[in-house]
Amino acid sequence: MEPGQRTGYRDIAAALRTEITSGVYPPASLLPPESQLATRYGASRSLVNRALGLLAAQGLVRPQQGRGTIVTWLPPMLHSAARYSQATRERDGARGAFDSEVKALGLEPRHEIAVERAEPPAHIADALGLTAGEACLVRRRRLLASGIPVRINASWVPLTIAGDTVLEDPAPNITGGIKSALAELGHRQTAAWERIIPSRLPSDAEAALLEISPERTVTDILHVGRTADGRVVEVTTTVTPAHYLTVEYDIPLS
Amino acid sequence: MEPGQRTGYRDIAAALRTEITSGVYPPASLLPPESQLATRYGASRSLVNRALGLLAAQGLVRPQQGRGTIVTWLPPMLHSAARYSQATRERDGARGAFDSEVKALGLEPRHEIAVERAEPPAHIADALGLTAGEACLVRRRRLLASGIPVRINASWVPLTIAGDTVLEDPAPNITGGIKSALAELGHRQTAAWERIIPSRLPSDAEAALLEISPERTVTDILHVGRTADGRVVEVTTTVTPAHYLTVEYDIPLS
DNA sequence: GAGTGGTCTAGACCACAGA
DNA sequence: CTGTGGTCTAGACCACTCG
């Protein structure tokens, strides 16, 4: 801050951002109350509230009524946990990479997995080439770091393929990931198609699962896996607050 | 709005969002002044200002001091303009797809192209495998729809490849795109690598070029093209406000 | 100069979490 | 019950654009 410069809400946000990213307020800890920050920066609480709103919009904190303002920022090392290259998928499976990265940050990884049979929404059914009303197996996962949700996804597989197989086992991990499990069932995938929406508003359900405010944007990845004969055997959706993710691709040029 | 429900700033934002996306306030037009909206919604100007701040953070509008609040939202049709599959790249070249999509919306496309020789920043030089101080040709483009900047990118090619070639021609388009031009020079690319950062804060320079506030997040795509012998001949960066873009990939699974 | 958005305050009341 | 953030107002002054 230059001497004589007025302290604006951007300045307050920048100061707090520096403290958060430098470790003064580590992930999952609480920031001082707004009233206290107001005193510290010589501003009104309204102004501090606005500054925190900025940081919240950027995913660094999550203010919670009645409780305080929680630091949700995670160091950038986590980003590489979300690589989508097929080599990484196969090597790390569904769980390994995330766990070790989170632990390396001194945080506690947690997985929530639910397996159910359900009718897919229209855009999933379309991608799977299913007729209306045909049921799927869906594996839903939620990944958290020290209680901070960082990613949710759902893998849809037609019941005709997945019914009464190892895929219905809600084990915390299928060794090698769902693609390996499908391969062992005779559905080896040879190609995939992905569509990334880098930034969109979450649905109410997504906002609730990710514990973010409805205006925090999310990144949406739709992954469609096909076997050699062109059949779609797996559709996976991934939704994550839009700053926890970096995606890498190797692309062959014809 | 439910009867008896209080009108919150989210409600005001939602109402305006509906009007914008339904065409009441078309792209590049001006919203009514905040004072007028305050009267309409029976709220204080502060509250309307907050609501507009939400919409601005989501990229629907751009408030400008002294002038008014400009609608920057574009219909989702534009999204498919930004496909990065190599088939689309080769077919449409650098210009065709963008132009026709923007015109289809009744907007005026504009391209700004600048070609210069320059020393690349460190991460670009790294990707190109250049030693420090080695110069490049860089083609910078800015794409606008009716005056709204929607994308900036920069293609870096080592001077040893691009010097004194057609690439130094600042023509509005190189037929078939930079990859075709390079191929005709004997540097046909056979593979590429891309890294997508879906959401990050822009640099001051990027915010200025895209005419967005410093807290609007952008999507960053780094594209690295290699020839059959593994040599990197092109690095292209793309930066766009984080809602104008959808990316699609076809991925072979080994 | 008139009108716009940008910022800020002081104070108020509400909703929620936790002891 | 206390302390937290969530919301909102009324009013003020500033900075900028444009005629």
Answer whether A251 sits within 8 Å of B192, measured CB to CB: yes
- pLDDT of B65 > 90? The answer is yes
DSSP A168-226: G---S--TTHHHHHHHHTT--EEEEEEEEEEEEPPPHHHHHHHT--TTS-EEEEEEEEE
- CB < 7 Å to strand D — which of 59-98 in chain B? 64-67
| Dihedral pair phi/psi, residue B2, rounded to 5° | -65, 145
Which residues on B lie below 8 Å from A253 (Cβ)?
A: 86, 179, 189-192, 225
Buried b (16+ CB within 10 A) or exposed e, A99-126: bebbeebebebeeebebeeeebeeebbe
Give the domain CATH number at B84: 3.40.1410.10
Lowest mean pLDDT among A125-129, A166-170, B15-19, B38-42: A166-170
CB proximity A44–strand C (7 Å threshold) = yes
Provide the edge-to-edge strand list for the sheet that holds A109-118: A109-118, A136-145, A148-158, A232-241, A218-227, A189-200, B247-252
- The domain in which residue A179 lies consists of 76-241
Buried b (16+ CB within 10 A) or exposed e, B144-176: bbbebbbbbbbbbbbbebbeeeebeeeeeebeb
Which residues on A lie below 8 Å from B246 (Cβ)?
A: 195-198
Contact A72, A62 (CB under 8 A): yes
Element holding B191 (H helix, E strand): strand B189-200
Specify the pLDDT at position A65: 94
The partner residue sitting opposite A191, judged by closest CB among B189, B243, B250, is B250
- pTM of the full structure: 0.88
Specify the pLDDT at position B242: 83
Which residues on A lie below 8 Å from B236 (Cβ)?
A: none
Element holding B218 (H helix, E strand): strand B218-227
- pLDDT of A180 > 50? The answer is yes
Among the three residues B40, B71, B102, which one is the final residue of a domain in this structure? Answer: B71
Element holding A98 (H helix, E strand): helix A96-104
Residues A170-180, mean pLDDT to the nearest whole number: 68
Residues B160 and B98 in one domain: yes
Q: How many domains, in total, are found in chain B?
A: 2
Closest CA–CA distance from residue A177 to any residue of chain B (Å) = 14
Among the three residues A71, A99, A125, which one is the final residue of a domain in this structure? Answer: A71
Specify the pLDDT at position B82: 41
Answer whether A217 sits within 8 Å of B87, measured CB to CB: no
In a domain, A225, yes or no: yes
Residues B64 and B85 in one domain: no
SS (H, E, C) B157-180: EEHHHHCCCHHHCCCCCCCCHHHH
| Chosen from B187, B249, B254 to mutate, greatest number of chain A CBs within 10 A | B249
Please state, in angstroms and rounded to a whole number, the distance separating the CA atoms of residues B247 and B254.
Answer: 22
Answer whether B225 sits within 8 Å of A249, measured CB to CB: no
Give the domain CATH number at B65: 1.10.10.10
Q: What is the pLDDT of residues B78-124, one digit of tens each?
A: 554 344 455 555 555 555 677 888 888 888 888 888 999 999 999 99
Q: What is the pLDDT of residues B232-247, one digit of tens each?
A: 999 999 999 988 888 8
Q: What is the distance between the terminal CA atoms of chain B, rounded to a whole angstrom?
A: 53
What is the rounded radius of gyration, in angstroms, for the C-alpha atoms of chain B?
21
CB proximity A199–strand D (7 Å threshold) = no
- pLDDT of B36 > 90? The answer is yes
